[in-house]
């Protein structure tokens, strides 16, 4: 199995990176949608429009992207036997955290669709920085492999 993965490694890596980009684009867009959505009245027609946009982003871009990122990422980890390497454990922890953030945002989209507004716009704008910081750390871990 590892021999087969080794021969297709560049394709796995390219696919993984492509879907990471799609996933990150969605993770950057969704909190921005939340900021605009939150500024609408819960009973307004605009509220329903924003709820639909958020669900489409989650369904069409974010859900498939996270699934492919995980699938290809695990195949890459097996192909290079990354499980014993410290940098990989740190990367995996960050990817798990980003996956949790993704899930939290899906839940927040459902709250907004119901008319709930638990967070202020300023907090949502700050939350928009989470994926950027995480991906910067992940890139350093993968490229530099500091430990």
CA dihedral angle for residue 61, residue 64, residue 70, residue 74, rounded to 10 degrees = -130
String of DSSP letters for 31-88: HHHHHHHHTS-TTSHHHHHHHHHHHHIIIIIIHHHHHHHHHHHHHHHHHHTGGG-HHH
State yes or no: 89 annotated in a binding site: no
Dihedral of CA 87/90/91/92: which sign? positive
Q: For residues 29 and 8, give the distance between their C-alpha atoms in angstroms, rounded to a whole number.
A: 32
State yes or no: 37 annotated in a binding site: no
Binding residues: 16, 91
Binding residues for heme: 16, 91
């Amino acid at each position: 199995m590892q021999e087969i993965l080794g021969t297709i490694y560049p394709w796995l890596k390219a696919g993984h990176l492509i879907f990471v980009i799609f996933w990150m684009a969605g993770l950057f867009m969704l909190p921005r949608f939340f900021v605009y959505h939150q500024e609408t009245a819960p009973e307004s027609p605009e509220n329903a429009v924003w709820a639909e946009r958020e669900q489409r982003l989650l369904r069409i871009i974010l859900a498939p992207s996270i699934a492919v990122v995980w699938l290809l990422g695990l195949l890459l980890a097996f192909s290079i036997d990354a499980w014993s390497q410290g940098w990989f454990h740190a990367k995996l922890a960050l990817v798990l955290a980003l996956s949790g953030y993704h899930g939290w945002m899906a839940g927040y989209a459902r709250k907004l669709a119901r008319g709930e507004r638990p967070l202020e716009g300023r907090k949502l704008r700050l939350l928009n920085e989470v994926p950027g910081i995480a991906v910067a750390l992940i890139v350093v871990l993968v490229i530099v492999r500091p430990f």
